[in-house]
């Protein structure tokens, strides 16, 4: 029998993870950064860089989903964190179309793992908690996106307007979220059971 405190603690843990990994103040400025700082043209972004995120997503959706069923959600979520880390490192230190296309491939892989994160609650809670936990996970996930975007806009528009000509500091701030996401990940409970096999 679940106590109300168990429900609240689990909801906070899974929500905090989703909020932290999605709170990236650099995201609204990605194209600006790639144009101004990395010196890529709009055509290069549209045809040689951004499409690789879709390649990563489509290529890894089924393998990551199967891996979650075989080895569990937590290892796959951890792999997604490593992909997010690779994305941030390549964004900051990568140069040229090839490395930044690889960055988008890593981003696509990290995005695939979001589906595993959403399903994680079904492996750690009884079915009567699914609706509440699903709501908490999705709310925190989107709140992270909104807060990160607002923070980035606030910094660029009011606090540090000089950053508009070089938004690199925002990307370092987003990179700082990776180790925080790892700490939040470590607070996630190991599932007492595997997801129910769908095959």
Residue 16's φ and ψ, nearest 5 degrees, are -60, -40
Task: Extract the tokens encoding 134.
Answer: 């699903």
Q: Distance (Å, rounded) from C-alpha 132 to C-alpha 121?
A: 10
Over range 95-111, report the average pLDDT: 96
Q: Determine what percent of the chain falls in helix, strand and coil, rounding each to the nearest 5.
A: 85, 0, 15
- 177-186 per-position pLDDT tens digit: 889 999 999 9
> Tokens 């990290």 — which residue?
110
The pLDDT > 90 percentage for the chain reads 67
Is the pLDDT score of 197 beyond 60?
A: no
- pTM for the full predicted model: 0.87
Over range 40-69, report the average pLDDT: 94
| pLDDT (0 to 100) of residue 193 | 55
| pLDDT (0 to 100) of residue 16 | 92
| pLDDT (0 to 100) of residue 122 | 86
| pLDDT (0 to 100) of residue 198 | 52
């Amino acid at each position: 029998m679940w106590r109300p405190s168990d429900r609240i603690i689990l909801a906070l843990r899974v929500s905090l993870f989703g909020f932290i990994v999605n709170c990236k103040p650099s995201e609204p400025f990605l194209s600006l950064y790639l144009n101004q700082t990395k010196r890529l043209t709009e055509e290069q972004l549209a045809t040689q860089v951004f499409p690789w995120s879709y390649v990563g997503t489509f290529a890894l959706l089924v393998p990551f989903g199967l891996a979650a069923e075989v080895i569990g959600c937590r290892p796959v979520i951890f792999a997604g964190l490593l992909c997010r880390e690779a994305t941030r490192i390549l964004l900051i230190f990568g140069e040229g179309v090839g490395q930044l296309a690889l960055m988008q491939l890593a981003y696509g892989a990290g995005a695939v793992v979001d589906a595993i994160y959403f399903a994680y609650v079904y492996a750690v809670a009884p079915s009567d908690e699914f609706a509440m936990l699903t709501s908490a996970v999705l709310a925190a996930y989107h709140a992270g996106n909104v807060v990160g975007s607002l923070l980035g806009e606030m910094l660029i528009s009011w606090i540090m307007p000089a950053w508009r000509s070089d938004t690199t500091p925002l990307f370092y701030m987003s990179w700082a979220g990776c180790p925080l996401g790892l700490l939040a990940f470590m607070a996630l409970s190991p599932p007492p059971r595997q997801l129910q096999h769908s095959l």
